[in-house]
Structure 1
Amino acid sequence: RRAMKVSVSMDTQKVLGGDFYNKVCGHLKLLEKEYFGLEFRHHSGNYVWLELLKPLVKQIRCKFIVKFFPPDPGQLKRGLTRYLFALQIKQDLSNGSLTCNDNSAALLVSHILQSEIGDYDEELDCQHLEMKHYVPNQEYLDHKIIKFHKKHRGLSPANSDIQLLEVARKLDMYGIRPYPAYDGEGMRINLAVTHSGVLVFQGNTKINTFSWAKIRKLSFKRKHFLIKLHDKPSCKDTLEFAMASRDVCKSFWKMCVEYHAFFRLAEEPKAIHKTLLSCKGSSFRYR
């Protein structure tokens, strides 16, 4: 189990981002490829997603990670897809982006142990936890990790991955990629997008949720991200958030477009004359 690093040889002068992405997924023998994406650092310093219809040569230097986090990753059809999701959870846990309380962290690590070394063995567990660090401040959690690991006897690596995803999906920070911003009162917050809509965090605490059903339109104007809600007499119908730059703001807006479209793909096609997520001056559409 290693980080998702893939080396694929292609002539980058002639291929589109989508060609390269398909080559990566073919190399991995990955069928449920729609949940993943290739991320790279833009010249502005921000991380953005590889665009499939643009030439690869203008983007490149990508890393393969989960792009769309479904509400229940245990329902993914393929074992390989679940395995890659488990790798992503493991990576997010180790770098501190998947924050949680001590009990949840210990439970997650215990499932990783079961998957990597099998059933509990006191000496082996201690040696493994000394050599590998799965979560910040792990040394304070060793006893809890071992206590949980004892209960997983008999679980196969594949079932351990399913249990890991089951714990992870219930965490507030599951699948969250925060974008720093300021609200209308100048308060520093983080914005994020999930399958259910746009979320607002203060630190690691979720303070507001704007479900897709509540949102009439999302747009951006320079470095300001705008959420227009369906008219309600009791509250302001347009919320404005200031972000670091136009590039950051547009990147987050594009991510919202993609999430909104992706998690509506299972619905029956309808004739839509005006999209919910639109912005003047941008021709970006998710395919």
Structure 2
Amino acid sequence: FNKVCGHLKLLEKEYFGLEFRHPTFSATKEAKCSFYFLSPPSDTSDLFFRFIVKFFPPDPGQLKRGLTRYLFALQIKQDLSNGSLTCNDNSAALLVSHILQSELGDYDEELDYQHLEMKHYVPNQEYLDHKIIKLHKRHKGVSPADSDIQLLEVARKLDMYGIRPHAAHDGEGMRINLAVTHSGVLVFQGNTKINTFSWAKIRKLSFKRKHFLIKLYDTVGPSCKDTLEFAMASRDVCKSFWKTCVEYHAFFKLAEEPKPIHKTLLSCKGSTFRYSGRTQKQLLECMGSGEKRPLCYER
């Protein structure tokens, strides 16, 4: 990870991480690890190892460097094309129009149609070509760097922005997805958010074997359970999601990197895992306001 960041001259590296995937790890065919690895199975034909955006801030305007924004734009582009960033047709067309402006420059009808025939940016793109090109025409004169900013501004307003679903079952056996964001732990049915547990409501997160536990403060409501339990595909998948929650909470909510002995609301008995690295607050303070010196990089 450090080699990649050094090669890219990436200063806001805490927003990024390493992803290791294999279809057998969960029902969603995705298992995410930050800097730790699950033991790979004997069949490695479907293994993927990638450098990815790990923490999605609520406001991409907090990203101080042009290179960071460009890498975020590439992640949004990938999430859009593989269907993980779902949205309505109008939003999809607008996102792709900003991508075209970034990649091709100003509108050219013939070039636009040729490019959209060769490149697949979004599912069902063939039904959106006309709308994409019409929107691209409006972006005349916008630079690639500004196109990145506008792309991220559209993406951050989408319900599935930065969402990495983890398949689970609730206490009644209903299939749901869990996800963690800057604001807390979310519960989805398909792509519809049905519950939000903000960090302020959560007393503790833990796991026991393949069961993920959310313990709430009593003040949340007298009629509510103080402990919610979700069953996941395996202990490894459950622990992986718990570690992601630990890191998200530390990065977005703590003022500084937690000390080795520091016990947070996400501490789990028997586990000494903690977030390692600068928090977002430290990162923003370190980067200061805006870019002091433009960094040249190849798009």
* CA distance in 2: counterparts of 1:68 and 1:60, whole angstroms: 16
Give TM-score, length-normalised by structure 1.
0.83
> Cα deviations across residues 227-260 of structure 1 (Å, max 9, x unaligned)?
00000x1211110000000000000000000000
Distance 1:58 1:175, change over 3 A: closer
Does the aligned pair in 1 maintain the 2:169–2:232 contact within 8 Å? yes
Give TM-score, length-normalised by structure 2.
0.80
Distance 1:142 1:97, change over 3 A: same
Q: Matched residue of 2:260: which SS?
A: coil
* CA distance in 1: counterparts of 2:118 and 2:263, whole angstroms: 55
* Structure 1 spans left out of the alignment, 5+ residues: 1-20, 45-56
Distance 1:153 1:209, change over 3 A: same
How far 1:74 moved relative to its partner? 2.5
Between the two proteins, the alignment pairs up a number of residues equal to 254
* CA distance in 1: counterparts of 2:215 and 2:132, whole angstroms: 45
Distance 1:112 1:199, change over 3 A: same
Distance 1:250 1:269, change over 3 A: closer
* CA distance in 2: counterparts of 1:164 and 1:258, whole angstroms: 26
Is 1:90 equivalent to 2:86 in the alignment?
A: no
How far 1:38 moved relative to its partner? 1.1
Aligned-residue RMSD, C-alpha:
3.8
Distance 1:147 1:266, change over 3 A: farther
Distance 1:127 1:273, change over 3 A: closer
How far 1:150 moved relative to its partner? 1.1
Is 1:160 equivalent to 2:147 in the alignment?
A: yes
Does the aligned pair in 1 maintain the 2:12–2:68 contact within 8 Å? yes
Moved more, 105-114 or 65-74: 65-74
Distance 1:230 1:198, change over 3 A: same
Q: Matched residue of 2:121: which SS?
A: coil
* CA distance in 1: counterparts of 2:257 and 2:271, whole angstroms: 26
* CA distance in 1: counterparts of 2:171 and 2:208, whole angstroms: 15
Is 1:61 equivalent to 2:32 in the alignment?
A: yes
How far 1:281 moved relative to its partner? 1.8
Q: Matched residue of 2:103: which SS?
A: helix
Distance 1:154 1:81, change over 3 A: same
Distance 1:270 1:163, change over 3 A: same
How far 1:41 moved relative to its partner? 3.6
* CA distance in 1: counterparts of 2:89 and 2:141, whole angstroms: 24
Does the aligned pair in 1 maintain the 2:32–2:240 contact within 8 Å? no
Q: Matched residue of 1:177: which SS?
A: coil
Q: Matched residue of 1:198: which SS?
A: strand
Distance 1:203 1:61, change over 3 A: closer
* Structure 2 spans left out of the alignment, 5+ residues: 34-49, 276-298
How far 1:23 moved relative to its partner? 1.2
How far 1:280 moved relative to its partner? 1.2
> Cα deviations across residues 206-243 of structure 1 (Å, max 9, x unaligned)?
11000000000000000000000000x12111100000
How far 1:39 moved relative to its partner? 1.4
Q: Matched residue of 1:119: which SS?
A: coil
Q: Matched residue of 2:123: which SS?
A: coil
Map of 2:197 onto structure 1 = 210
Distance 1:266 1:151, change over 3 A: farther
Moved more, 106-115 or 268-277: 268-277
Q: Matched residue of 1:263: which SS?
A: helix
* CA distance in 2: counterparts of 1:131 and 1:271, whole angstroms: 51
Does the aligned pair in 1 maintain the 2:260–2:274 contact within 8 Å? no
Amino-acid identity (%): 91
Does the aligned pair in 1 maintain the 2:22–2:31 contact within 8 Å? no
How far 1:117 moved relative to its partner? 0.4
> Cα deviations across residues 85-135 of structure 1 (Å, max 9, x unaligned)?
000000000001000000000000000000000111111111111111100
Map of 1:24 onto structure 2 = 4
